[in-house]
Amino acid sequence: MRKTTATLADGRQIIYYDESDGPRRVPHQDRRELPGPAPGSELRRDPLTREPVVVAAHRQRRTHLPPTDQCPLCPSSGGRRTEIPSPDYDVVSFENRFPALSGDQGRCEVLCFSSDHNTCLAQLGAERVRTIVDAWADRSAALAEQPGIEQVYCFENRGPEIGVTLHHPHGQTYALPFVTPRTATVLDSARAHREETGGDLFEDVLAAEQNGPRVVARNDHWTAFVPEAARWPVEVHVYPHRHVPDLPSLDGTERDAFAELYTDLLGRLDRLFDTPLPYVSAWHQAPVRQGRDRDLSRLRLEVFSVRRTAEKLKYLAGTESGMGVFINDVAPETTARRLREACP
């Protein structure tokens, strides 16, 4: 993989990740006339839960479901200039023009998976997934070095049912100035588990699932399973067999093995209802500055969907939105069996 860094017209950084071994990429100049950087977000804290809330009013003006010929994530061509000045690319990362976090409040980046507007990650193949993992690992390492950053979150939202505003295949990377509430809660559980049993929470979860009815797929380095207490009608967790805290810590063999397994898993998810599955795919990485918590934490991927049948979506009801108590209409064992059966 070859990495080339350039600057967009308004000063934002853009990075190309090329798979070919051809000549060095010469970045095309961004000739657009763009306004200055977006105003900074405001970070507030709920006094009842002590959880952070980001207020980013400028995002009301962000691009929303444009037609294909106006997609800002396609490569520039002819007289149409987009966020990517080059007429082609493999994988590219750049600072979000409408970030939820910016300045001393953090950073938000977009990661485009392909220049092809009409494809999706499930169709791109293991080689491209490996490039994407390498890019996310590279950005995670770089963003973790920025002052004030406590956690780096890499994720993909797919499908209008999830709330996606751009159909082009892409993910995002958030550099957060705080440890997320979900991570803090899980770390509290891991800490309590170690104090009570002397064991590793994630190792014990993985061991309990390895040969059980909820495993969907596995190889020598990764296991994908539906968790026993799945909140969503479709939910799959993917654990590395080696205890690593984050994406940069994965070695080449583990990255290759993940690319193969994840490509297979995404295909199964789309075959589950014979239609592209809307999902959130979320990488959980350890906090970047808390040494003891990094030892407690473990890299893992969680993929979940709001689709519960081919015709029905799950909407959060009163107990879920109001109290955080999820009610799953589908048994996790049933979802795992159906995914195992969803062969090509």
Any binding-site annotation on 74?
yes
Catalytic residue flag (residue 243): no
Are both 167 and 246 inside the same structural domain?
A: no
Residue 39 banded pLDDT, cuts 50, 70, 90:
confident
Last residue of a domain, one of 142, 176, 210: 176
Are both 223 and 306 inside the same structural domain?
A: yes
Last residue of a domain, one of 144, 176, 208: 176
Question: What is the reported pLDDT for 46?
Answer: 96
DSSP for 87-104, please give it.
S--SEEEEE-SS-SS-GG
Residue 292 pLDDT > 80: no
Structure tokens belonging to residue 142: 């770089």
Where residue 81 sits, what CATH number does that domain have?
A: 3.30.428.10
Q: Considering 28, 58, 64, 170, which one is annotated as catalytic? A: 170
Any binding-site annotation on 28?
no
Residue 70 banded pLDDT, cuts 50, 70, 90:
very high
Any binding-site annotation on 71?
yes
Are both 290 and 266 inside the same structural domain?
A: yes
Are both 207 and 324 inside the same structural domain?
A: yes
**C-alpha angle 17-20-25 in degrees, rounded to nearest 5:** 60
Are both 14 and 146 inside the same structural domain?
A: yes
Question: What is the reported pLDDT for 297?
Answer: 94
pLDDT digits (tens, 9 = 90+) for 222-243: 999 999 999 999 999 999 999 9
Structure tokens belonging to residue 200: 């590793």
Give the span between the Cα atoms of 323 and 152, in whole angstroms.
27
Residue 84 banded pLDDT, cuts 50, 70, 90:
very high
Question: What is the reported pLDDT for 102?
Answer: 85
> Per the structure, how many domains does the chain have?
2
Question: What is the reported pLDDT for 164?
Answer: 93
Are both 195 and 126 inside the same structural domain?
A: no
Q: Residue written as tokens 């062969």?
A: 343
Are both 168 and 252 inside the same structural domain?
A: no
Are both 136 and 245 inside the same structural domain?
A: no
DSSP for 147-200, please give it.
TT--EEEEEEEESTTTT-S--SSEEEEEEESS--HHHHHHHHHHHHHHHHHSS-
Are both 280 and 143 inside the same structural domain?
A: no
Residue 344 banded pLDDT, cuts 50, 70, 90:
confident
Residue 103 pLDDT > 90: no
pLDDT digits (tens, 9 = 90+) for 162-181: 999 999 999 999 999 999 99
Are both 166 and 244 inside the same structural domain?
A: no
Domain that holds residue 54: 2-176
pLDDT digits (tens, 9 = 90+) for 106-141: 999 999 999 999 999 999 999 999 999 999 999 999
Any binding-site annotation on 343?
no
One-letter amino acid identity for 182?
R
Residue 293 banded pLDDT, cuts 50, 70, 90:
confident
Residue 72: closest CA among 20, 111, 80: 80
Are both 163 and 74 inside the same structural domain?
A: yes
Decide if 301 contacts 238 (C-beta within 8 A). yes
Question: What is the reported pLDDT for 213?
Answer: 97
Are both 63 and 198 inside the same structural domain?
A: no
Question: What is the reported pLDDT for 12?
Answer: 95
Residue 63 pLDDT > 90: no
Average pLDDT, the chain: 95
Q: What is the pTM of this model?
A: 0.96
Residue 290 pLDDT > 80: no
Q: What sign for the dihedral angle of Cα 55, 58, 64, 66? A: negative
Last residue of a domain, one of 158, 176, 194: 176
B/e letters for 260-287, b = 16+ CB within 10 Å, e = fewer, are bbbbbbbebbbbbbeeebbbbbbbbbbb
